Structure 1
């Protein structure tokens, strides 16, 4: 229980103001809140399961590979940005079908979050906590902490999605994803 409570608090606080919250808000402008939350939860649970495994197996030795993970995630974000802009060329009927498609939204959000969290501070914090605390409590607590912080951003994003024109939402989302990509690539190159 100690590992759960500690991990929930640490990861919740680490997530506040993180790029993942901005991503959650961005995705919530385009997809149903339920789908965004599901994608985030699945991706977070998987990344944090890997994190606690690494924390138990490697201790703090993961930091030397963070640069490569950051560059790979940055490239993926640039692809997501291009994909977001390309998606705006769908007909109105196709766009509505895509918005209703739970599977497509969950995969898009889940993949983006999985890539973004690889090498992120919350992943490294989870690895660090797992070196000192029980793996199960750390895994569940870190997942709950992150999803709770991102749920705040999802609420704001869902409201913006209902209030702004579709083209503005798409350009803003693509711009945010591209910025995340450039930041991750820059972080990776600078940390090498």
Structure 2
């Protein structure tokens, strides 16, 4: 259950102000059809994060426990720093295909999430907890907690959300996970 809760919390916080959340605002404003946008985000996130978690789980089998502990600890610390760097929506992410609201959202969101903070976090979390389904469920819920309000209330929330504070909290959680992992907190998990 820890893997699910930590994954949900970290991704929900890390997603605030992230380029995929900006994309959710953009899609909602362009199409004004929240249900297919939300469903498109859900499908894209499940597929993307399942792939990322599979990579994380696979990586745990490649390295020994001591090496894995250092890789994960340093990865979490790097994620803490990366979370503090503001995101921008890339020009390519903003181009919308003409396949309908749902398909456009799935394609645009999936592509925008490739190599994104939350995808990298999903890889690290899956490697850390070796609980693919719980991590994917948690990271997907975290994405939805951050993006569904963006779709429905985007304009109103954008100016009220203390993005720097939220990013600071997410960075602190990543840093604590990194330090705890480096200090051996994951030994009960085999690394």
* TM-score bin (small chain): 0.5 to 0.7
**2:132 aligned residue:** 135
Q: Is the Cα–Cα contact under 8 Å of residues 49 and 140 in structure 2 kept in the other structure?
A: yes
* TM-aligned CA deviation for residue 16 of structure 1: 0.7
What does the per-residue CA deviation read over 1:134-174, in whole Å, with 9 as the maximum and x for residues that have no partner? 11100000000011101121123488xxxxxxxxxxxxxxx
* TM-aligned CA deviation for residue 5 of structure 1: 0.7
Scaled by the length of structure 1, the TM-score of the pair is 0.61
1:24 maps to 2:33: no
Distance 1:35 1:110 in 2: 9
Which of 112, 129, 143 lines up with 1:146 in the alignment? 143
1:118 maps to 2:114: yes
Gaps of 5+ in 2: 61-70, 76-89, 157-191
Gaps of 5+ in 1: 64-73, 88-102, 160-192
Q: Which has the higher helix share?
A: 1
* TM-aligned CA deviation for residue 58 of structure 1: 2.7
**2:52 aligned residue:** 51
Q: Is the Cα–Cα contact under 8 Å of residues 56 and 135 in structure 1 kept in the other structure?
A: yes
Q: Is the Cα–Cα contact under 8 Å of residues 25 and 154 in structure 1 kept in the other structure?
A: yes
* TM-aligned CA deviation for residue 76 of structure 1: 4.6
* TM-aligned CA deviation for residue 107 of structure 1: 0.5
Q: Which runs of structure 1 show a deviation greater than 2 angstroms over 4 or more consecutive aligned residues?
A: 58-61, 74-78, 156-159
What does the per-residue CA deviation read over 1:4-40, in whole Å, with 9 as the maximum and x for residues that have no partner? 1110001001101101111101111122000110000
Matched pairs, number: 130
Structure-2 change in CA distance of 1:37 and 1:15 (3 Å): same
Distance 2:26 2:151 in 1: 8
**1:34 aligned residue:** 35
Structure-2 change in CA distance of 1:50 and 1:17 (3 Å): same
